[in-house]
A and B are shown apart, each in its own frame.
Chain A
């Protein structure tokens, strides 16, 4: 039993080291292993935070379209009991797209829109359609929300570029 436990321990170590080495290679050269992609991605996620920057904020927004055609911007803040940073990042569906594909990502945004429509209906706000979109504005040294107003605040359709 003790020998079996030791063998299992060494197999665990071997698997862990292989996943870590593969993640390191992926971190530096974006070369993915032919097998064990999920394990590599988990390891990669632990060793590669903070890879770049954006010059604009992309915040997920949603607009409800009523049966009579009138439109209403939906306040999503009640759905995000988090810090503002987490709220914005949650809107990107990052891991969802990493573990699936960009096409699945687009489908996921459509699902999110439907879920928002259902939740809003429970709150008494009936919309025929909910459209997700990005609220976009440039960063400024004067404050995160300084330029979050027209004309610097713009509205972009959801794309994964």
Chain B
């Protein structure tokens, strides 16, 4: 009996129907963010994704069809594929056939990753792929979407959606912060302040970072900063999942990402804070939204 209750709770948490509002907010934020992220690559399309550049596909062995598909295309074809990706991301942000748009955007992003982006080998590109992958499994257009406007005459009309996408993203964000934090306890290069000292004058360093290392050359300061970073990363996932600590988790996350941007210029991870809205109960987010912004409240439809 107890096992059945546990299974039911597990099943409901992962696959039950929930209010669509948190996921819709993430869809809008992620779709808009990714649209911008790809749009700024426009001038670089020939060099990054066509046979004019110096890139090699990640797959070197396998089915002939796959190897042919991953041959670098002419620039005109690369522009065409790129345009479809932009349109899909635009559709996703607007909430027009969200799941289909997520499938298209994910597929084309994987394609571009396999022919070129893998050379960058960045964590954020993988997170972006995971976001799109997750959005394939629930209708993130369940509210605040063009779909709801076209079908029900209101942007704010809403219908319950499967929780799966929301849960996958929330668990992944937790895994990312937890892995990033815990690895620092075991990685040899994170046992002292040198990792921050040198990275703050590395290829990623910003002018404020260079100013800091020039005027604060004392290693004990960087030793302490390492512990500060570890503390922030430790507290973020715990705070996000714990009701009364949530404001602390949210604040820690925002402070952490702002520091990263200020000192290392890495703005790509700013897509993560909007996902914090996926951690509370979806119905709590919906109710809070309706209370705070009455114009965002709409009728439930089936």
Listed in ascending order, the chain A residues whose CB lies under 8 Å from chain B are: 6, 9-10, 12-13, 16-17, 20, 23-24, 27-29, 42-55, 57, 76, 78-86, 88-90, 92-96, 98-100, 104, 108, 111-112, 115-116, 119, 139-144
Contact = CB atoms under 8 A, between A and B. Distances in A.
Contact of B179 (A48, A54, A115): A48
B284 interface: no
Interface string B165-191: 001100110011011101100111110
Contacts of A78: 47
B9 interface: no
A92 B167 CA distance: 35
Given A44-B179, A57-B202, 19 more contacts: A9-B15, A20-B175, A24-B175, A28-B182, A46-B172, A47-B178, A50-B180, A53-B198, A79-B47, A81-B47, A85-B203, A86-B120, A89-B203, A95-B119, A96-B58, A100-B60, A141-B201, A144-B201, A144-B210
Given A10-B15, A95-B118, A24 B47 contact: no
Nearest to A113: B54
Report, nearest first, the 10 A-B pairs whose CB atoms are least far apart: A47-B179, A81-B44, A94-B121, A52-B189, A49-B123, A95-B121, A53-B198, A95-B118, A141-B214, A85-B203
Contacts of B182: 24, 27-28
Contacts of A88: 203
Contacts of A86: 120
A88 B202 CA distance: 11
B214 A53 contact: no
The B interface, classified by DSSP as helix, strand, loop or mixed, is: helix
Contacts of A28: 182-183, 186
Nearest to B207: A143
The A interface, classified by DSSP as helix, strand, loop or mixed, is: helix
B11 A95 contact: no
Nearest to B42: A81
B137 A12 contact: yes
B231 interface: no
A46 B183 CA distance: 13
Contact of B120 (A44, A57, A90, A111): A90
B217 interface: yes
